[in-house]
Structure 1
Amino acid sequence: MIPASWYLILSAVLFSLGVIGFLIKRSLITVFMSIELMLNAVNLSFVTFAHQWHSVKGQIFVFFVMMVAAAEAAVGLAIIIAIFRARATLNVDQVDLMKL
């Protein structure tokens, strides 16, 4: 049996990697993937606590977070494609939608 603390440590490491990727990387795709990594790290901790406390509430919450993440992925990728078509770059520093 794997202790719950290992799952929480893994969740913290994944969330930290997502934050580092969000803060350091300059590509919109990498930033987008970092946000998804952070969402999955939080989902892992929700499932860990739900299993530890023998409750279904955490798993239900994870289901809703996954639905929101799927919608965010569809809309986010559409926005990224539109930005790339308009600006021909995905660099966060060079994407300035208020300027023509």
Structure 2
Amino acid sequence: MFGHGLILGAYLLCVGFFGLITSRNMVRALTSLESIFNAVNINFITSSNFFSNRQAGGEIFPIFVIAVAAAEAATGLATALSLQRNRRSTRIDQFNLLKW
């Protein structure tokens, strides 16, 4: 089971990096970033269950990662909405258009 969890995490990490590198749309980039965070969480929980040293470190740390991901999603989507309202596009290469 340990190998299967790590393979799933590595696959999800690769798909997330590929999506993050190739996307021009900001919402797609944020979704790819969320899949990278989920891959890290899968690896933490899989490693914690494998070593099972009776400490809750592997299960507690993903809660902090989820909180950071939620804050990132909120600020990223707020920026995307601001960009969409002002310039009618959510392309990443148009961030410099938000300047005054």
Letter matched to residue 17 of structure 1? V
Deviations 1:21-65 (A, max 9, x none): 011111000001000000000000000011111141011100111
TM-score when scaled to structure 1?
0.89
SS in 2 for 1:93: helix
SS in 1 for 2:93: coil
SS in 1 for 2:30: helix
1:18 to 16, 19, 25: 16
The separation in 2 between residues aligned to 1:30 and 1:94, in whole angstroms, is 15
Question: Percent identity of the aligned residues?
Answer: 38
Superposition RMSD on alpha carbons, in Å? 1.5
| Structure 1: gaps of 5 or more residues | none
TM-score when scaled to structure 2?
0.89
The separation in 1 between residues aligned to 2:98 and 2:72, in whole angstroms, is 23
Aligned length: 98
Contact 1:87 1:95 (8 Å CA) reproduced: no
In structure 2, the residue matched to 1:28 is 26
| Structure 2: gaps of 5 or more residues | none
Structure 1 runs of 4+ aligned residues shifted over 2 Å read: 93-100
